[in-house]
Amino acid sequence: MNRRSFLKHGSLLASSLATTRRFAHAPEARAREQFSLHVLTDASDRAIAAMEELIKTSFANSTRVKFAEYQLAGRHLGDLVVIKNQSVVDYRQAHDAFALQARALAKNLQLPRVMENPVLVKFYTDTQSTQAQNALVFVNNVLVQQLPFGAQAETHEITGLRGRMAIALRNGSVKVAGTSCRHKTCMKMGAINAPGQHLICIPNAVRIAIEGQNENGLDGVTF
């Protein structure tokens, strides 16, 4: 099994990333620290290795981590986005150990820059939630809308920092249906339908997350 197949077929312990390279078989447990790392890059192998090391050193308290990657067609602005415990992390301005490592990762991948047909690489906390209930819309880390999933398809408009967006809700999923930003990367990310997944528009500083409920009836939101 190659590295990508290995990563895609289940949850891993954050502490085992970049060391044992094996699956986690520990009992199911809710993550103690929630995070999501998104890198849009044309050097996915280097990105994966660097992201694993960042998770191992900075998010060891996160119990289970999921991985996904897919290619986006066209020209896009490649960058690194870090979401930790309900907020986008401004690692370019901070001076702690995590920020230094994140900046080194971005520098190694020469981010941000425009690139052709990049790959979106994501590592995110597995929250064990089972049912999506609401789409949460944040602008510049401020919750501006909480949209419940209903039986009918709905479209809502959002005002971001640099323009407007339209998002479509249907059958427990949400996607970006339209945006005024130039590269329209967020539209090509497809739909999300579970906690731990995000839609992000960097120019508009818009982030969309899923609020869900697990089998115990507890709310679970991963940002």
| Distance, C-alpha 13 to centroid of its chain | 18
Distance CA 154, CA 103 (A): 39
The predicted structure's pLDDT at residue 211: 82
Whether the CB-CB separation of 36 and 222 falls below 8 Å is answered with yes
Whether this model's pTM surpasses 0.95: no
The predicted structure's pLDDT at residue 71: 86
Domains of the chain, residue spans:
1-126, 129-223
User: Would strands 12-13 and 64-71 be described as parallel, antiparallel, or unpaired?
Assistant: antiparallel
Q: Look at residue 203 and give its three-state secondary structure.
A: coil
Distance CA 66, CA 50 (A): 16
Would you write out the chain's pLDDT as a tens digit for each of its 223 residues? 455 554 554 455 555 554 333 333 333 333 457 888 999 999 999 999 999 999 988 887 766 788 888 888 888 899 999 988 768 899 999 999 999 999 999 999 999 999 999 999 989 887 655 578 889 999 988 889 999 998 789 999 999 999 999 999 998 899 999 999 888 899 988 999 887 788 999 889 999 988 876 443 333 333 3
- Fold classification of 129-223 is mini-chromosome maintenance (MCM) complex, domain 2 (2.60.320)
The predicted structure's pLDDT at residue 30: 39
Q: Look at residue 221 and give its three-state secondary structure.
A: strand
The predicted structure's pLDDT at residue 204: 92
The predicted structure's pLDDT at residue 114: 94
For residue 179, give Cα distances in angstroms to 3, 125, 164, 185, 192: 35, 28, 6, 9, 17
Whether the CB-CB separation of 167 and 174 falls below 8 Å is answered with yes
